[in-house]
């Protein structure tokens, strides 16, 4: 299995462990674009590497970060210099300097401080309050930016920069409704919305109404799509999957893995993910057996509380 490219910014629910499965369902788009209404860390397009893409998100800081990489305002060289300088200040001043940078970012945001906060905050969480201010606390590691850690970050940045500069990608701050409306018959939509009640904040709030609207928009798309969502865990089953995607028109593929965002190991439970598609095979493959039976098999093995 190919080791996936890892982006330099971290997001909750990042799909690093699913990119190979998503890539296996994807195919070249000679005339169309890869469209994402919730691009987040951009780990999926960075690994699938479509020639053309429309990558949107409601988080202005993520979009600005990738625009700055695309415009070569953020480079491995200047990021290395920045992280060395500010890593030394963090090592000297400790926690107080983290909050100094956080206050500065919340007053006048920029992509350098965004990266610094993202890689030195608690557990790599990206969270904003109702005023749009980054509010994650310090990771309590003053020596966070060691030489090895800086090298890791700039290598990640250099790799994604090469992928992006070789591609025709457009980044926009946009609502998912607008983004999906741009899709044409030759396009391919990948939707990875926030999971209701999980990994949500000011920029990524998500309601049942949003879930219903997204399902309606995807079901009427003129092109193929993949939807990522949670299928079930040891406590409960996602009834929205059964309600919206159990017809013969859709296929459901499942995969179990852990999200490492709990404060302690005992709070980090396995999650079964669902990849939902409106197709059963790639155009260059023979049709596969219909997949929704996976839902039936899964519900038989998971014992959710009544």
For β-strands 224-233 and 270-277, DSSP reports them as antiparallel
User: In terms of Cα–Cα distance, which of 264, 243, 283, 299 is closest to 26?
Assistant: 283
Express each pLDDT in 226-245 by its tens digit: 999 988 777 778 888 888 89
CA distance 182 to 184: 7
Angstrom distance (rounded) from CA 25 to CA 38 = 19
Mean pLDDT for the chain?
Answer: 86
Neighbours of 96 (CB within 10 A): 12
CA atoms of 81 and 40, how far apart (whole Å)? 26
Q: What is the pTM of this model?
A: 0.87
Q: What is the pLDDT of residue 242?
A: 82
How confident is the model over 84-112, as pLDDT tens digits? Answer: 999 999 999 999 999 999 999 999 999 99
- Which long-range contacts does 29-32 make (Cβ < 8 Å, 24+ apart)? 29/186, 29/187, 29/188, 30/186, 31/186, 32/184, 32/185, 32/186, 32/187, 32/188, 32/223
Same fold, 16-58+174-301 and 70-161: no
Domain boundaries, the chain: 16-58+174-301, 70-161
Distance, CA of 180 to CA of 162 (rounded, Å): 27
Given a cut of 50, is residue 3 above it in pLDDT?
A: yes
Q: State residue 201's pLDDT score.
A: 57
Q: Which CATH superfamily is domain 70-161 in?
A: Adenine-specific Methyltransferase, Domain 2 (1.10.1020.10)
Contact predicate 29/52, CB 8 Å: yes
What b-and-e string marks burial along 39-53, b requiring 16 or more CB atoms within 10 Å of the CB? bbbbbbbbbbbbeeb
For domain 16-58+174-301, the CATH architecture is: 3-Layer(aba) Sandwich (3.40)
Higher pLDDT, 194 or 151: 151
The per-residue pLDDT for 257 is 64
């Amino acid at each position: 299995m190919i080791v996936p490219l890892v982006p330099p910014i971290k997001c909750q629910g990042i799909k690093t462990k699913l990119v190979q499965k998503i890539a296996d369902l994807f195919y070249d788009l000679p005339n169309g674009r890869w469209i994402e209404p919730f691009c987040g860390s951009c780990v999926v397009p960075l690994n699938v590497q479509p020639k053309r893409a429309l990558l949107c998100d409601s988080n202005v800081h993520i979009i600005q970060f990738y625009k700055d990489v695309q415009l070569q305002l953020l480079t491995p060289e200047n990021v290395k210099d920045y992280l060395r300088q500010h890593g030394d200040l963090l090592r000297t001043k400790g926690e107080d300097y983290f909050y100094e940078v956080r206050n500065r970012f919340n007053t006048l945001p920029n992509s350098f401080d965004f990266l610094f906060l993202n890689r030195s905050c608690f557990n790599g969480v990206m969270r904003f309050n109702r005023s749009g201010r980054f509010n994650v606390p310090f990771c309590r590691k003053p020596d966070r930016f060691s030489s090895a850690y800086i090298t890791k970050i700039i290598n990640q940045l250099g790799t994604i920069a090469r992928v992006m500069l070789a591609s025709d990608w457009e980044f926009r701050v946009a609502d998912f409704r607008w983004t999906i409306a741009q899709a044409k018959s030759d396009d391919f939509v990948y939707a990875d919305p926030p999971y209701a009640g999980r990994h949500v904040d000011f920029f990524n709030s998500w309601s049942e109404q949003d879930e219903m609207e997204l399902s309606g928009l995807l079901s009427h798309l003129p092109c193929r799509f993949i939807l990522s969502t949670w299928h079930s865990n040891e406590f409960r089953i996602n009834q929205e999957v059964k309600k919206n995607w159990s017809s013969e028109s859709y296929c459901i593929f499942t995969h179990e893995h852990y999200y490492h965002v709990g404060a302690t190991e005992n709070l980090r439970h396995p999650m079964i993910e669902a990849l939902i598609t409106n197709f059963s095979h790639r155009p260059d493959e023979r049709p596969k057996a219909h997949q929704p039976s996976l839902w039936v098999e899964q519900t038989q093995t998971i014992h959710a509380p009544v």
